[in-house]
Amino acid sequence: MKKLSSMRDTIYNNVLRKPKSYIGSCLRRGCDRIPENRRLTVVTVLLTLFVLTAFFVFGNACYRIGRGQAAAGGIEVSHIEGVALPAPDDSGSLMVGCKITDNGFSETEKENQ
């Protein structure tokens, strides 16, 4: 069992941790070489592109909802219908056709009307 665990840890380290740390260190070194003013410009441009893309996606979704294309996907809404409740009998009890026994409720036949 320890051998499987050690093999799994080795594979995990070689596949995920080492490449991730290598890519992170390369990216960090590359960003450190950029002057601070240019780094601020790059971050601002990327943030602006992200915000514009988010607004475009949100606006496109709102536009499609307004045109009615969102409901054209074939999904139909079915509404829940009301449940028919029994009317209370003359005594005011809602348990029509039931009588109380020691073991609980048992159904009885309706009396001849």
Q: What are the pLDDT digits (tens) for 69-99?
A: 655 556 677 888 888 877 766 655 555 555 6
Q: What are phi and psi of 108, to 5 degrees?
A: -125, 160
pTM metric for this prediction: 0.41
Name which of 89, 91, 93 is nearest 113 in CA terms: 89
For residue 34, give every residue at least 6 positions away whose Cβ sits within 8 Å of its Cβ, in sequence order, or none: 42
- 22 vs 28: CA distance, rounded Å: 10
Q: What are the pLDDT digits (tens) for 47-76?
A: 999 999 999 999 998 888 877 665 555 667
Q: What are phi and psi of 54, to 5 degrees?
A: -65, -45
The residues spanned by each domain of the chain are 1-33, 35-71
**Radius of gyration in angstroms for the set of CA atoms belonging to the chain, rounded to a whole number:** 35
- pLDDT at position 32 over 70: yes
